[in-house]
Structure 1
């Protein structure tokens, strides 16, 4: 896309870069009220059947994912016009999702500024190695990368570690505001857990909040993973990297069924979100539908998204993600080519 078309596209989406207080409040009501209602219902159901409780917590986890989208928009300053309102609601929903608001806002904004830039990986994104980097790495680096990319690590151990442990600590160069917000989040979580432990008992609290935490964590990591780890994604070195291409080619349109699209706060329109993080989640679908250029982007559905599990390494030469198996095949082919003598040598 040339500069003139980029300028025209910016002009078309600009009207949507303003939040609507009415829409934001409505989303808070239809997200937070059902979540807390389901939590109470889960507590009541324990005395009848824990299977029923688990079913309720699964639905509640979906609403917690939706609460995370509110948190996410607050981090971008796009949920409310007022900065203080974004900070307050962002901190509250951050406590609900075990995410310190200021800390996550920093790392996520870095992710937006460096998405798909091979020279600026490592903050707020999934660990990606190129084929050449992997093949030239030490045994221990390759082993660590394989363990990291294992689905059990990525989607079960990973969410537990990141949300429960990693987010409890500040980064080394964090500013005072960010550090204080992390402390506030941690203190609030301890207070809430203590309160529930003294009222309904820690075991009961864990039986309800545990599944909600794990399911929502798995869903959250999956959404983030699949929206950048698809076969024909976009990665470039600094000198060739382009912000618009990174948004429209390096972020997918995850086409979900309407119910899941609603639960996930339209985050499937990830290409538009990366093009402009100032657009509130409730406008993303409308922006997509009104701009043809935004419809001609990498699109994945639920069945196709499962294929992303096999994509492990970025192939710079062919500009696509490949599996470990594919790299192994290439290595064996090269090895055989060097080890098999040609006819002239044998004669």
Structure 2
């Protein structure tokens, strides 16, 4: 029989995901001063780099493009602040943060109300194999992939190719797809107003640029900034859920809180990148309690070592995750096309 001293020395059992929800609730209150500060120190450098790139155009268009590409990092941070506004975690007033989110959505080329709706569906359905398709990276199970026709398998492999997923895809998403409320065509006027209002504001801004200086600022500053930010943003979204030991399940085995914690990574980034990505790498905590402001996430990791050590994904590991393509329901992990072929044979083979 274990004596009391031995019992006290035993490590505590890991908390269940639902238990963390109550613990994390105390971190949800935003600070108005801190939120305004984070907004200012993000927007001002972004505008300053825009102005610097524009001023540089008359001397060196290559330098202007380089400055614009660096500014893509600040545009990622702007998107992360828009993201917090969409979760009602940035200011105490929902109306204030909604209008800030709509304004930032013009800079990020992302209609705020459309994105907020699709992203809320992503949070509500993440990890549910029966509810894939909105706000996520398309992921097939091994069985689904093998049951497709040769053409269907080719299209999926093309979709998961890094060039498509991280270069062509982001440009299509932010420059074209976001111009219409795709997926919400019949969901109401609000989403049309969000998309068309964002388009109108964007058209006015770009029109003024062209009127003042011709197409050069649009082609050499606006586009490089947007493409870099889009690529980095999609990469971040990818590694947040596409890692080997992520979590997918079918109802009734799927459980919202467990899927949020187990199916989201803790992306370990060096400090400059943590700041520029607004701590979005602490994604397992964010998915478990999305009402927490991004600037309070490090506080949680300091207070709770269990969460600090959970779901850790290093830069090197994240790069290797590009080779993970299919969810194996039997093994409960992602695997590559090659591993699936080795383990289960060539699809369509007799």
Show the counterpart of 1:81. 92
1:183 corresponds, among 167, 177, 196, to 196
Q: Deviations over 1:45-87 (max 9, x none)?
A: 1222233223311221100000001110111111111111111
Paired residue for 1:322? 335
Are positions 1:19 and 2:39 aligned together?
A: no
Equivalent position of 1:153 in the other structure? 164
Correspondent of 1:243 among 249, 256, 261 = 256
Partner Cα distance (1:116, 1:281) in 2:
22
Q: Is the 8 A contact 1:248 1:294 kept in 2?
A: no
Equivalent residue, structure 2, for 1:309: 322
Indicate whether 1:68 and 2:79 are aligned. Answer: yes
Unaligned runs of 5+ in 1: 339-347
How many residues align? The count is: 337
- Deviation sequence 1:237-293 (CA, Å, 0-9, x none): 121012222122100000100000000000000001000110011111111221123
Q: For residues 202 and 68 of structure 2, what CA distance do their matches in structure 1 show?
A: 19
1:219 to 216, 224, 232: 232
TM-score by length of structure 2 reads 0.92
Larger relative contact order, structure 1 or 2 (CA cutoff 8 Å, min sep 6): 2
1:167 aligns with 2:167: no
Q: CA RMSD in A?
A: 2.0
Aligned to 2:138: 127
Alignment of 1:33-48 (within 5 A): 33-48=44-59
CA drift at 1:205: 2.3
Match of 2:67 among 56, 70, 87: 56
User: Are residues 333 and 169 of structure 1, via their aligned partners in 2, closer, same or farther at CA, if it must alter by over 3 Å?
Assistant: closer
Q: CA deviation at 1:7?
A: 5.5
Unaligned runs of 5+ in 2: 1-11
Q: Return the TM-score normalized by structure 1.
A: 0.93
1:90 to 101, 104, 112: 101
Deviation at 1:8, TM superposition (A): 4.4
SS of aligned partner of 2:334? strand
CA contact (8 A) 2:302 2:308 kept: yes
> What secondary structure, in the 3-state scheme, does the structure 2 residue paired with 1:314 have?
strand
Distance 2:54 2:281 in 1: 32
Partners of 1:54 and 1:277 in 2: how far apart?
A: 35
In the alignment, the residues of structure 2 paired with residue 331 and residue 274 of structure 1 have an alpha-carbon distance, to the nearest angstrom, of 33
